[in-house]
Amino acid sequence: MADVAVHTDHAAPDGHAAVGHAAMHTTIPGLSNNKLGMWLFLGSDCLLFGGLISVYMLYRGRNGTGPGPDALWDIPLTSVSSFVLLMSSLTMVLAVSAAHRDEDAKAQTWLSVTALLGSTFVGAQVYEFTSFYHEGLGYTTSLFSSSFYSLTGFHGVHVTVGVIMLLTLVAMVSKNKIPGQKAEAIEMVGLYWHFVDVVWIVIFTLVYLIPT
C-alpha cells in the first residue's frame, strides 16, 4: 500500500501522454502498476507459505516426548476464529465496493469492521498459543512445535500487518489524505487481505482438520 501514488500518467490529457495513446492500449495490459506489483508480491508470498507448510507437513508427526497435535487442537475454537477471519473477507469486499461508489463513510465502517474481525482472529490465536504453551508446547519442545509456531506465527504476523494497514486506511480516508485513486488503495489492501484469508483456509485444513 506504500506506493499509492498518482496514476494519471497515460490518462493525462496534456503533454506527451496523449501521443500514441491508442498504441498504448495495444501493447500494455490493463492492470495498473500498483496492482500488478501487488499480484507479483502475493505470488511470491505463496512460495513463502508453501515452504513453511512443507516444513510443517514434514514434521507434524514428530512431536517426540512433547504433546502432539491430536492432544492439543481445540477444533471448535479454531473453527470459530477461522469463520471470523473468512467473514472479514466479506466485509473487505463491501469496503472496496463502497470505495468504488465513493461512499467514504461506508467504506470506513466496513474497513473498521474488517480490522475488528482480523484483530479477533489474532486475539484468538494469541489465546490458543498461550493455552498450548501451558499444556507444554513450547517453541523449542519438538520439531512439530517449532514448525507449527513458525507457520501459524508467520500467518498471524501477516494478519497483524493487514490490520495495521486497514486502520491506517481508515485514518487516511477520514482525513481525505490518500493521494491518487482512493478506491485503488483500498482494493490493494483488499487483495492482500483476501490472500491472507485464502492461505488460512489451506493452513486450517492441513494443520487442524487432517488427523495425523
Which residues are at the interface with other proteins (CB under 8 A)?
Answer: 1-9, 12-17, 19-21, 23-24, 26-29, 31-33, 36-37, 40-41, 43-48, 50-52, 55, 58-59, 62, 64, 102, 139-143, 145-147, 150, 154, 168, 172, 175-183
What is the smallest separation between the CB atom of 93 and other proteins, expressed in angstroms? 19
What is the smallest separation between the CB atom of 77 and other proteins, expressed in angstroms? 25
Of 3 and 135, the one with the shorter C-beta distance to other proteins is: 3
Q: Is the dihedral of CA 17, 20, 24, 27 positive or negative?
A: negative
Chain position carrying cell 507437513: 57
Rg (CA), the chain: 21
Of 81 and 169, the one with the shorter C-beta distance to other proteins is: 169
User: How many residues are present in the chain?
Assistant: 212
Chain position carrying cell 492500449: 25
What is the smallest separation between the CB atom of 59 and other proteins, expressed in angstroms? 8
Distance, C-alpha 209 to centroid of its chain: 21
Of 93 and 143, the one with the shorter C-beta distance to other proteins is: 143
Task: Report the candidate in 100, 112, 86, 89 with the shortest Cα–Cα distance to residue 168.
Answer: 112
Distance, CA of 137 to CA of 207 (rounded, Å): 15
Of 43 and 123, the one with the shorter C-beta distance to other proteins is: 43
What is the smallest separation between the CB atom of 189 and other proteins, expressed in angstroms? 11
What is the smallest separation between the CB atom of 79 and other proteins, expressed in angstroms? 27
Of 8 and 212, the one with the shorter C-beta distance to other proteins is: 8
Chain position carrying cell 470505495: 99
Distance, C-alpha 45 to centroid of its chain: 10
